[in-house]
Amino acid sequence: MRILLIKPPLNKNLLAPNHDEPLELEYVAAAASGHDVEILDMRIEKNLWRKLDRFQPDLVGVTAFTCDVRAASAVLQEVRKFDPLIKTVVGGHHATILPGDFARPFVDVIFQGMADESFKQFVEILAGGGDVGEIPNIALVGEKGLRFTERRPFAGDLDRLPLPARHLTSHYRKHYRDSVGNVTGLIVSSRGCPYRCTFCACWKIMDGKYLTRSVEAVVDEFAALAAGVDLVCFAADNTLQDTGRAWRLVQMFRDRGIRKRFMMYARTDMIAGHPDLLVALKEVGLDYLLVGIESFRDEDLKKLNKKVAAETNIAALRILRELDISVSPHLIVDPDFSRDDFRQLYNYVLKMDLFRPVYTVLTPLPGTTLYEENHERLAIRDYDFFDFTHSVLPTRLSRRDFYRQYASLYNKSYSFRRYFRWRWRTLSDFLRGKKHFAPPADRIPFLLLAFLRIFALRLYLKVRHRYKIEPLV
């Protein structure tokens, strides 16, 4: 059978559009090995009809995060127009949580949750005959609505899944880069998370389970992937949860002489409690950590059920600074912020000397507790705006003022003024013999900052004027 898997075009609202490899599709493709499978990444290659015409698929599958729902639906609709006989399916995070949003005449089947097993069964049945209604975790779209099959959470072993079919995206590899131009590769070492943060969809998607792969399997895949990329990204929201596994990873990198730059996502309690592990990770190639700080206030962290104290966040950031480990700190901007909250947040960034802050607007993603509590009062329901830089909830400030404050956070954080103040401080420290002159790992070099400033001007204006294009309900 000829199967075409599609990553939809990027949502134009995203401020920092990253092109990482579509790992989810590479996994799904691996599940259908034995068939003629291709991946079309429409973030890079836009001509859908040409691809359909050349490949003549029997089955098309599209993936979608919440912010991709509209783009994914448009792709499926085009496929139906191209040839109504092509079977169309959709999977991924949004389809898992709100399958009803894909109950459309141009969709045949919706996959929920990990599809490594269900997609395999599906293509076998399609190719050989049988009843797809027997396959768990899918919804069949019919005229009378959705018919769900049995829900069966993945209870298997991640190590038994076939490796992602990366050869199907090798022609796109040079496009898969991070914001500073590194060619990247993604690797899964765990799925899910044992925590229950109110704003995070990660644990819901995995039915609350936290699954890990064996360290040996991760290192084997890492070694193979590392050969063709500059930076390996561990694709999970909480990679260092199990410190025993992390130590084994370090040991195995050492034993096998593997040295490649990599990045991971980590919680601050883990960082604060295990500085020795971080030293070891840095030695074997840790390039930077993406860390969810979320808030500088205990009351907010409690509300978010982050199970971490503001003090722990501070301790973790200090440790990372001491160890000179680069950090990408993510901070939440609550739609309920007053001007004073914005000011306090920026003061925190200054106080903690955070060079590369990322500010995400608190967004009730479907599936999260935050969504359950707030979906009735959403100010924007169009999923194109669930991009973490729009406020889909009502704001305390006027919307115009909210976006001014929000844009200004970025403007101030990445300003020349901040750069020169820091330069002056380090120079005077150096002259007084206090510190060595080398910049910390996450300090943005002047030329990059200058480039960012030019590039960011357009983004700054875009954010400042966001309120003008919002489809408020």
Footprint of ligand SF4 on this chain (CB under 6 A)? 193, 195, 197, 200, 202-203, 237-238, 267, 292
Instruction: Give the separation between CA 122 and CA 136, rounded to whole angstroms.
Output: 10
Least distance in angstroms from the C-beta of 369 to ligand SF4: 10
Instruction: Give whichever of 193 and 289 is closer to ligand SF4, judged by the CB atom.
Output: 193
Q: Write down the least CB distance from residue 114 to ligand SF4, Å.
A: 16
- Which of ligand B12, ligand SF4, none does 203 bind, CB closer than 5 to 8 A by kind? ligand SF4
Nearer to ligand SF4, 30 or 316 (CB): 316
The CB-of-10 to ligand B12 minimum distance in angstroms stands at: 6
Cβ neighbour number for residue 415 with a 10 Å cutoff: 13
* b/e burial code for range 331-361 (CB count within 10 A of at least 16 → b): bbbbbebeeebbeebbebbeebebbbbbbeb
- Interacting partner of 65 out of ligand B12, ligand SF4, none (Cβ under 5 to 8 A depending on kind): ligand B12
- Angle at which helix 48-55 crosses helix 69-82, to 10 degrees, equals 50
Dist. CA 316–CA 396, nearest whole Å: 31
Binding at 292: pick from ligand SF4, ligand B12, none (beta carbon under 5-8 Å per type)? ligand SF4
Write down the least CB distance from residue 131 to ligand B12, Å. 18
Nearer to ligand B12, 139 or 319 (CB): 139
Residue in the structure block whose two tokens are 């260092």: 240
Question: Which residue number, 24 or 384, has a Cβ lying nearer to ligand SF4?
Answer: 24
Q: Residue 267 touches which of ligand B12, ligand SF4, none (CB < 5 to 8 A by kind)?
A: ligand SF4
Contacted by 9, from ligand B12, ligand SF4, none: CB < 5 to 8 Å by type: none
Best CA proximity match to 233, nearest among 165, 178, 167, 161? 178
Residue, CB closest to ligand B12: 91
Residue type, 3: I
Pairing between strand 109-111 and 138-142? antiparallel
Q: Name the site residues for ligand B12 (rule: CB under 6 A).
A: 5, 10-11, 14, 18, 20, 22-24, 27-28, 61-63, 65-68, 89-94, 111, 114-116, 119, 186, 188, 200-202, 235-237, 365, 387-388
Instruction: Name which of 252 and 332 has its Cβ closer to ligand B12.
Output: 332
For ligand B12, the closer of residues 57 and 92 by Cβ is: 92
Distance CA 92, CA 111 (A): 7
- DSSP secondary structure letter of residue 198: T
Give whole-number Cα distances, 10 to 267, 468, 471, in Å. 28, 21, 19
Q: How many CB atoms lie within 10 A of CB 219?
A: 21
Residue 47: contacted member of ligand B12, ligand SF4, none (CB under 5 to 8 Å, by partner type): none
| Residue number with CB closer to ligand SF4 (202 or 278) | 202
CA distances from 112 to 82, 91, 93, 119, 165 (A): 26, 6, 8, 10, 21
Q: Which does 72 bind (CB under 5 to 8 A by kind): ligand B12, ligand SF4, none?
A: none
